[in-house]
């Protein structure tokens, strides 16, 4: 994984990284360590290999492991201490653990939490392992807070292609060994506090639809006390397919106080209307909310340069609403 690619990742990103050999896995680990140091982030690695191997790999890559360990900036956990701490894979418990890790990193004054997870443990028969896809989709609600980020490393030699595709679709973005050095995250999802809601940046299609579905399904639970319609900021959503539009409409129907869309392009408005959404402005809570003339934009929602600028440039805090992590 090219260091330039790793440096484009931002808090809030949740990336499925597939690799073909151990050199690629080590490169992602070493690059993440350097990036975490540069950005003053807490580093947490869930390792499938022995500690001695982890430290040797990092030192061979030029990382001052001892200094990071002494400072408490870098921690290594075994799979048994992390994903399988309950003696089996219990995704709700693992997700609950992320909240504690995030709070700890905040309390220590770090700018973020950067996580690398070795997922080789899931290639075998593990009790609870059948719920991994649900977990990978659901944990996006944690990362949408805009403080933590994660690289989930999957060995393509161990996982069946069909399963890898399903797991990858539970992540907003995926990085493969043949990806260009121009690669950027395909989709970024960030909760906003003012106004309360979610900002979508990049592209949504079959390759990441599971990540969006879980985030939207959790809106009412993630904003229990909002008291106002939630805002779905789609100004920087470059592409969405019909299935994504249906998800957006379903999310609008499921939120008790309603949802308002901002930044809708005309193509997206057409997709929303086909999915049953009335884009006319509405006046009160409890309704879906409309794009309205003040919230629409005329740029096309169809240019799909996956390796070009887009979602990667949109996650630096500009735009309507501020990320929840900046509260």
Q: DSSP states of 19-38 as a string?
A: ESSHHHHHHHHHHHHHHHHH
pLDDT at 42 over 50: yes
CATH number where 68 lies: 3.40.50.300
Question: What pLDDT, on the 0 to 100 scale, is given for residue 194?
Answer: 92
* Count of beta carbons in the 10 Å neighbourhood of residue 92: 12
Check whether residue 236 and residue 100 sit in a common domain: no
Check whether residue 116 and residue 262 sit in a common domain: no
Check whether residue 208 and residue 244 sit in a common domain: yes
Q: Among candidates 176, 30, 20, which has minimal Cα distance to 116?
A: 30
Check whether residue 167 and residue 202 sit in a common domain: no
Check whether residue 30 and residue 106 sit in a common domain: yes
Task: Please return the burial class of 287, using the count of CB atoms within 10 Å of its CB with bins 0-12, 13-18 and 19+.
Answer: middle
Residue 181 lies in a domain: no
What is the spatial distance between Cα 281 and Cα 188, in angstroms, rounded to a whole number? 27
The pLDDT tens digits of the residues spanning 274-318 come to 998 865 544 333 334 443 333 434 333 433 444 444 454 433 332
Q: Collect all residues with Cβ–Cβ distance below 8 Å to 165 and sequence separation of at least 6.
A: none
Position 32 confidence tier, pLDDT thresholds 50, 70, 90: very high
Q: Is 323 left (phi over 0), alpha (psi -120 to 50) or beta?
A: beta
Position 261 confidence tier, pLDDT thresholds 50, 70, 90: very high
Q: Domain of residue 94: give its range.
A: 3-175
Check whether residue 127 and residue 153 sit in a common domain: yes
Last residue of a domain, one of 154, 175, 196: 175
Instruction: Return the residue matching tokens 């006046």.
Output: 283
Question: What pLDDT, on the 0 to 100 scale, is given for residue 112?
Answer: 98
Last residue of a domain, one of 175, 200, 216: 175
Check whether residue 157 and residue 195 sit in a common domain: no
Question: What pLDDT, on the 0 to 100 scale, is given for residue 295?
Answer: 40
Check whether residue 157 and residue 211 sit in a common domain: no
Question: What pLDDT, on the 0 to 100 scale, is given for residue 317?
Answer: 33
Question: What pLDDT, on the 0 to 100 scale, is given for residue 277?
Answer: 84
**Helix, strand or coil, per DSSP, at residue 176:** coil
Q: How long, in residues, is the chain?
A: 327
Last residue of a domain, one of 175, 203, 230: 175
Position 326 confidence tier, pLDDT thresholds 50, 70, 90: very low
Residue 140 lies in a domain: yes
CB-based contact 168:18 (threshold 8 Å): yes
Check whether residue 151 and residue 220 sit in a common domain: no
* Count of beta carbons in the 10 Å neighbourhood of residue 153: 25
Position 2 confidence tier, pLDDT thresholds 50, 70, 90: confident
Domain count, the chain: 2
Answer whether 0.85 is exceeded by the pTM: yes
CATH number where 293 lies: 3.30.750.24
Residue 278 lies in a domain: yes
Residue 182 lies in a domain: no
Check whether residue 160 and residue 17 sit in a common domain: yes
Higher pLDDT residue, 285 or 245? 245
Residues β-bridged to residue 259: 230
Check whether residue 161 and residue 204 sit in a common domain: no
Check whether residue 196 and residue 157 sit in a common domain: no
């Amino acid at each position: 994984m090219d260091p330039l690619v790793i440096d484009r990742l931002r808090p809030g990103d949740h990336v499925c990284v597939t690799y073909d050999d151990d050199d690629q896995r080590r490169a992602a680990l070493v690059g993440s360590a350097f990036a975490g140091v540069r950005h003053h982030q807490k580093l947490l690695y869930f390792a499938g290999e022995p500690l001695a191997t982890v430290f040797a790999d990092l030192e061979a890559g030029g990382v001052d492991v001892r200094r990071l360990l002494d400072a408490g900036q870098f921690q290594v956990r075994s799979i048994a201490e992390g994903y399988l701490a309950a003696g089996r894979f219990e995704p709700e418990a693992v997700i609950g653990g992320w909240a504690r890790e995030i709070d700890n990193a905040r309390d220590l004054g770090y700018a973020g939490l950067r996580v690398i997870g070795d997922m080789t443990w899931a290639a075998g028969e593990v009790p609870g392992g059948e719920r991994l896809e649900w977990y990978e989709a659901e944990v996006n609600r944690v990362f949408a807070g805009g403080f933590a980020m994660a690289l989930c490393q999957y060995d393509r030699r161990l996982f069946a292609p069909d399963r890898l595709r399903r797991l990858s679709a539970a992540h907003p973005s995926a990085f493969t060994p043949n990806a260009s050095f121009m690669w950027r995250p395909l989709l970024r999802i960030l909760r906003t506090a003012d106004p309360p809601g979610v900002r979508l940046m990049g592209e949504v299609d079959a390759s990441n639809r599971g990540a969006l579905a879980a985030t939207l399904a959790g809106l009412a639970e993630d904003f229990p006390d909002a008291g106002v319609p939630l805002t779905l900021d789609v100004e920087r959503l470059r592409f969405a397919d019909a299935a994504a539009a249906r998800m957006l409409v379903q999310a609008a129907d499921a939120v008790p106080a309603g949802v308002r869309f901002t930044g809708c392009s005309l193509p997206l408005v057409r997709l929303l209307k086909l999915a049953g959404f009335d884009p006319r402005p509405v006046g009160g809570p409890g309704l879906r909310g409309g794009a309205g003339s003040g919230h629409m934009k005329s740029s096309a929602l169809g240019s799909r340069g996956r390796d070009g600028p887009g979602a990667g440039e949109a996650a630096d805090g500009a735009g309507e609403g501020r990320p929840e992590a900046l509260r």
